[in-house]
Structure 1
Amino acid sequence: MKRVLVVLGLVSLSVSVFAQEEEEEKSHKFRRDNIFIGAAIGLGLSSGGFSGGANPEIGYSIAQWLDAGISTNFNYNSYSAEYNGGIRQRSFNYGAGMFVRVFPIRSVFLQVLPEYNRINTTLRDVYSGQETIYKQQAPSLLLGAGYTSREIGRSSFYTVIMFDVGNNPESPYIGYLGSKQPILRTGFNFYLRPRRK
């Protein structure tokens, strides 16, 4: 809860810092050239754990300091039996969420990404050979910070590191015994109507 309050405080601070810049923008109309699409590759590592996947997204640059959009995800997670009580775990999850990126500094952003995931998990006891399959659903609340070469109207590269600050043990980003895996995503965004100099 404290982390969420800190993020909300930073967002509020960013809003006040960039309010003057936004007032200078004369056009508040919807602009098609502010729409972007992109995708990221995700990677998470922990002791005995691995996760990787792809995250297509579509968004809109609301202001110089604010982007928002929809993100989808397709992830694979595994945990080694050695670190998981003799159980080898393999999971595939897919889901979607809405993201907000706030740019307190031109190339640095804070990101909030609530997601809802569907997870298919296979557990195999390496000693007995018994296999169990589970299907479940879980929400996640990913918070993080990143770096980007963003300029509205031009293609950009970004990297973000996030953590699931939620407490749902079924989240695909929370490992064995509740360990929180760092989620590293790197990708590109392309504006649908690039601006010309």
Structure 2
Amino acid sequence: MIMKNSVLFACLMMLATFAVAQQNESNEQPKGFKRENMFFGSSLNLSLGNRFFNVGINPELGYSLNKWLDAGVALNINYFSQNASDFSNTRFRNFNYGAGTFLRIWPVNFLHLQVQPEYNWISSSQKNVITGQSARYNYNAESLLVGIGYGSRAVGSQYSYVTLMIDVLQNINSPYRDQFNDPLPVFRAGFGVYLNRKKQ
């Protein structure tokens, strides 16, 4: 229940930020939807560590609300594997897909902060390497990724970025936490274009 409330709180904070951003921009630019502010892109998700590996793709569709704020929706497809260790005899192979929203804040033109609540559906294959027993599980989990990144962004043209995030919720089923519930670092390298690019 606490995790669901955290995701709901993050979504409400994003909506509040949208409203404030729109109000601030109303004095600078004419009101209304601008097609050249819509963008489509994708990022590659990758994390490596001692005995674990995670890779995925994350297509996104968003809108630049102003010169410093992007918001949108994103999908994710991930594969995660973790080998047995001295502390656990279980080997994990997980496949998950999910969806969520994101908020990307650009305080300066090369640096951004990102908040991304997600909901994930996970299929897990687990095997005890000592006994040979294996099992499959299906479950779901919320996650709340937060992080910082470097990139470039020209509203109406294109963007690219590299972001480092972690899942700040403590849901043991999250695809971004290991079997000991420690957060896994998530690296995402993304790029995209605006749908109605401005003519140079």
Instruction: Output the TM-score relative to the length of structure 2.
Output: 0.86
Distance in 2 (alpha carbons) for counterparts of 1:51 and 1:24: 45
Q: What is residue 120 of structure 2 aligned with on the other side?
A: 117
1:186 matched to 2:200? The reply is: no
1:67 matched to 2:70? The reply is: yes
SS at match of 2:54: strand
Q: What is residue 59 of structure 2 aligned with on the other side?
A: 56
1:174 matched to 2:177? The reply is: yes
Q: Which amino acid aligns with 2:144?
A: L
Distance in 1 (alpha carbons) for counterparts of 2:32 and 2:86: 54
1:195 matched to 2:198? The reply is: yes
Deviates most, 59-68 or 44-53: 44-53
- Count of residues paired in the alignment: 186
SS at match of 1:81: coil
1:126 matched to 2:126? The reply is: no
1:96 matched to 2:114? The reply is: no
Decide which of 22, 34, 39 is 1:36's aligned counterpart. 39
Deviates most, 58-67 or 26-35: 26-35
1:87 deviation in Å?
A: 1.1
1:24 deviation in Å?
A: 5.3
SS at match of 1:149: strand
> How has the CA–CA distance of structure 1 residues 84 and 40 changed in structure 2, closer, same or farther, with 3 Å as cutoff?
farther
SS at match of 2:88: coil
Percent identical among aligned pairs is 41
Any idea what the Cα deviations from partners look like across 1:64-90, whole Å, max 9, x if unmatched?
011000010000000011256111110
1:23 deviation in Å?
A: 5.4
Instruction: Output the TM-score relative to the length of structure 1.
Output: 0.87
Q: What is residue 159 of structure 1 aligned with on the other side?
A: 162
- Is the 8 Å Cα contact of residues 114 and 141 (structure 1) preserved in structure 2? yes
1:176 deviation in Å?
A: 2.1
| Cα RMSD after superposing both structures | 2.2
- Is the 8 Å Cα contact of residues 55 and 74 (structure 1) preserved in structure 2? yes
Unaligned runs of 5+ in 2: 1-8
Distance in 2 (alpha carbons) for counterparts of 1:89 and 1:144: 26
> How has the CA–CA distance of structure 1 residues 44 and 158 changed in structure 2, closer, same or farther, with 3 Å as cutoff?
same
Decide which of 16, 25, 30 is 2:28's aligned counterpart. 25
Any idea what the Cα deviations from partners look like across 1:69-118, whole Å, max 9, x if unmatched?
00100000000112561111100000000001111111211111000000
